[in-house]
Amino acid sequence: MKKIGIIGFGWLGSRLAASMSGPYQIYTTATTKDKVEDLSLKGFHASLASFPDFQLEEKIAQWNEIKDIDVLIITIPLSGKRCCASSLYNRVQHLLSFIGDFDGQMFVMSSTGVYPDIAGEYSEESLSSDEVQGERMVRNRYPQVNILRLSGLMGDNRLLKNYNVSNLQAPVNHIHYEDISGIIEKMIKIGSKGKLYNVTAPQHPSKAEVINAQKNLPSPDQSVGEGKIILPSKLVSELDFVFKYPDPKAFH
């Protein structure tokens, strides 16, 4: 049985662990002792770890379990768009100390938010990893890393109708967490290394259409307006991947 390490047991990390805990043995991290104990009771191999944005006097100790792990999934924020360069640098350096010279299959969750907030279509070729600080830092150390640029995380209790939303005619870029899990599991099976993929549902209805669908209201009359559209074409063609949830209007 392969051993999967998940660093960052938040909203996404917890769902990935739940999905993969059948065929894989799960090792994970948590930021509090209580959460470590809770995860251990659920059958996960949990360790206490955090990756602050400030510089520490001493390096973070290497994860004892890293030597047993076959696949590493990192879900802590590394795209860098919402924090300053020095804070991101410190966080990544702490992460690198924690995982050491890991040479197994590796996944980093980045964000499609790295693309400019300008209307248009964006593929992976629109912005290389070298132009995204967090992605560049990790790839320079671990060339085998697969970087997944995730669109807005949705599914379960995350529904657009629950948020204050502006520009209702703009297209959405959303991804259901079950499809993220499916993509990672497929990449694990085929041994993918060094890939960069946009991970987003292939359909891009307007925010108004998604909200109305979630409220069981008729679809609005207005057409989808201009906005940023993230393309998952590379992922679909290279992995021959079929989305379980291709339409954000049906995520609920």
**pTM as predicted:** 0.95
In a domain, residue 214? The reply is no
- What's the rounded Cα separation, in Å, for the pair 122 and 115? 7
Q: What is the CATH number of the domain that holds 16?
A: 3.40.50.720
In a domain, residue 128? The reply is yes
Residue 96 pLDDT > 70, yes or no? yes
Q: Tens digit of pLDDT for each residue in 36-59?
A: 999 999 899 999 998 888 888 778
The tokens describing 165, both together, are 């939303």
Going by pLDDT thresholds of 50, 70 and 90, the confidence category of residue 83 is low
Residue 84 pLDDT > 80, yes or no? no
Query: Can you give the chain as a three-state secondary structure string?
Result: CCEEEEECCCHHHHHHHHHHCCCCEEEEEECCHHHHHHHHHCCCEEEECCCCCCCCCCCCCCCHHHHHCCEEEECCCCCCCCCCHHHHHHHHHHHHHHHCCCCCEEEEEEEHHHCCCCCEEECHHHCCHHHCHHHHHHHHHCCCCEEEEECEEEECCECHHHCCCCCCCCECCEEEHHHHHHHHHHHHHHCCCCCEEEECCCCCCEHHHHHHHHCCCCCCCCCCCCCEEECCHHHHHHHCCCCCCCCHHHCC
In a domain, residue 234? The reply is yes
In a domain, residue 105? The reply is yes
Residue reference for tokens 């967090």: 134
* Angle at CA of residue 111, ends 252 and 108, nearest 5°: 105
Average pLDDT score over residue span 119-145: 96
Going by pLDDT thresholds of 50, 70 and 90, the confidence category of residue 162 is very high
Going by pLDDT thresholds of 50, 70 and 90, the confidence category of residue 78 is confident
In a domain, residue 127? The reply is yes
Cβ pair 70, 4 in contact under 8 A: yes
In a domain, residue 35? The reply is yes
Going by pLDDT thresholds of 50, 70 and 90, the confidence category of residue 64 is very high
Which pLDDT score is estimated for 160? Answer: 96
In a domain, residue 166? The reply is no
Cβ pair 74, 92 in contact under 8 A: no
Average pLDDT, the chain: 94
User: Which residues form the domain of 237?
Assistant: 3-159+174-204+228-250
Domain count, the chain: 1
In a domain, residue 220? The reply is no
Which pLDDT score is estimated for 1? Answer: 81
